[in-house]
Amino acid sequence: MYRLVTHFGGGSWALTPEEEQQYIEKIRLLLTIGHTMLKKGYTALDTVQKIVELMEDSGYYNCGKGSITNYNGVVEMDAGIMCGKTLRGGAVATVRTIKNPIKLARLVMDKTHHRLLACEGADEFGKKKGLETVSDSYFVRYQPVETSYFGKAPHETVGAIALDKYGDLAVASSTGGIDDKLKGRIGGVPQLGLELYANNKTCAVACTGIGEPFMRLVTAYDISAQMQYGGKSLEEAVKNIFKEKVEGGLIAMDKDGNIVKECNAPEMLYGYIKEDGSPFAEMYKTPLKN
């Protein structure tokens, strides 16, 4: 059995019906690519990396080419990847010149004894390893504005989770960060266990939204810990987290391939491969509270 689930950001997308359908079609295509990889025997780790790379290249999401800027008008990108089999992971923060931060995160995982590189050191390491670099003009620049959080940025952090036919889970995420961030701000994505986590014994989790509450709750690891040490199901563990004050959404998959999504932002764009192998995607709209 192999499964795949992705999210493309939680917030207020404010798309027209036509634009929403265009995004859904793009997601279906990405899911089909990922499903084909898993079917051919690619690992979950390679699959989630590839899906996130494609998101970074598209310019449609808040990662890679489409990253939002900080208040100084500069793109600073974060990314992380983790293997549920080995519990090894790699991450980068405040990257400015590497075209695909998720590739750099994978190199940190595979080619160093570190887990997180940041700032100029991360960019220099990527260049040394031959990763493609780009100029500042490459990025689609979404400028910050001073309004309430939801509704400012066109989209948020992206993520992908896969379970491969070998029984291994993996997760990858990439982001340009929140749109009211100061220079040098590092969110939860590159700090493994906070907004992303994978453990073959339990689950894999990828969050999207305001990072600081997810960081305070050590959200992704907490969900896994509730399952491993508290005997909770994935659905129970996720619901417990959302009883706390988090702003955004998440996707999660347990070791048996069961998928859970949760969101308290106005909208979250996500998709997954159904049991029959077909891609499903939608703009989930959070029910309004009375």
Residue 169's H or E segment, with its range, is strand 169-175
CA gap 220, 101 in Å, rounded: 21
- Nearest one of 139, 96, 135, 137 to 119, comparing CA atoms: 96
* 43 flagged as catalytic: no
- Nearest one of 277, 53, 34 to 162, comparing CA atoms: 34
- Which stretches within 11-99 are classed as H helix? 17-39, 44-58
Given 43, 47, 97, 157, the catalytic residue: 157
Cα distances from 111 to residues 97, 129, 140, 220, 278, in angstroms, run 20, 9, 30, 25, 36
CA gap 85, 234 in Å, rounded: 18
Please give the positions annotated as active site. Answer: 157
